[in-house]
């Protein structure tokens, strides 16, 4: 499994351990967002890492088609029951201030969850690792200041 590194900001600052203790306290185990339902597990590990595990799927998916014999049969699962087939993992390193995310395209799910649970602004920014990365992001400098 490959993780992507991003910077996490909560109210425009790197979060400290008190933020994650509060998130653990107020965070919900089930988080509906749009058509998806997320089951969320959270854990603070050694006062350094904050682990989040999301199991999720489209809560509206339901079918009466049996794939074994290509027939239509009554589905024994009620429409209100969700069978999550997808997973998202994240781990925040409190010392390095880096959020590691297993699916880069779902990082907004993590910030949306944090924002909603804490009633604070949460956002991610990419980590620039080289001069080439920096040059690809910066297209124009308005001013230069030497200190």
Beta strands per DSSP E along 47-116: 49-58, 65-66, 71-72, 86-93, 98-101
Task: Give me 94's structure tokens.
Answer: 């409190």
Q: Report the half-sphere exposure of 10 (CA within 13 A, side-chain side).
A: 25
Question: Rounded to whole angstroms, what are the CA distances from 95 to 8, 16, 46, 80, 124?
Answer: 12, 9, 12, 42, 17
Check residue 49 and give its pLDDT: 97
Q: If you search the block for the tokens 């008190």, which residue do you land on?
A: 18
Q: If you search the block for the tokens 């001013």, which residue do you land on?
A: 143
Other CB atoms within a 10 A radius of the CB of residue 20 amount to 24
Task: Give me 10's structure tokens.
Answer: 């909560």
Helix (H, G, I), strand (E, B), or coil: what is residue 115? helix
Question: Is the distance from CB of 40 to CB of 30 less than 8 angstroms?
Answer: yes
Closest to 39 in 3D by CA, of 96, 93, 88: 88
Other CB atoms within a 10 A radius of the CB of residue 102 amount to 17
Check residue 143 and give its pLDDT: 65
Query: pLDDT by residue for the chain (147 residues), tens digit each?
Result: 899 999 999 999 999 999 999 999 999 999 999 989 999 999 999 999 999 999 998 887 766 666 667 777 776 667 677 778 899 999 999 999 999 999 999 999 999 999 999 999 999 998 876 777 667 766 666 666 776
């Amino acid at each position: 499994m490959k993780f992507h590194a991003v910077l996490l900001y909560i109210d425009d600052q790197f979060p400290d351990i008190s933020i994650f203790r509060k998130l653990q306290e107020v965070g919900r185990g089930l988080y509906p967002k749009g058509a998806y339902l997320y089951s969320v597990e959270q854990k603070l590990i050694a006062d350094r890492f904050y682990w989040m595990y999301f199991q999720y799927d489209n809560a509206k998916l339901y079918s009466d088609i049996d794939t074994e014999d290509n027939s239509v049969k009554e589905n024994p699962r009620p429409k209100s029951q969700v069978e999550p087939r997808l997973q998202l993992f994240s781990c925040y390193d409190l010392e390095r201030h880096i959020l590691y995310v297993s699916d880069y395209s779902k990082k907004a799910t993590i910030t949306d969850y944090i924002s909603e649970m804490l009633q604070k602004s949460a956002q991610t920014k990419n980590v620039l690792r080289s001069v080439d990365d920096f040059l690809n992001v910066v297209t124009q400098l308005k001013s230069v200041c030497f200190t």
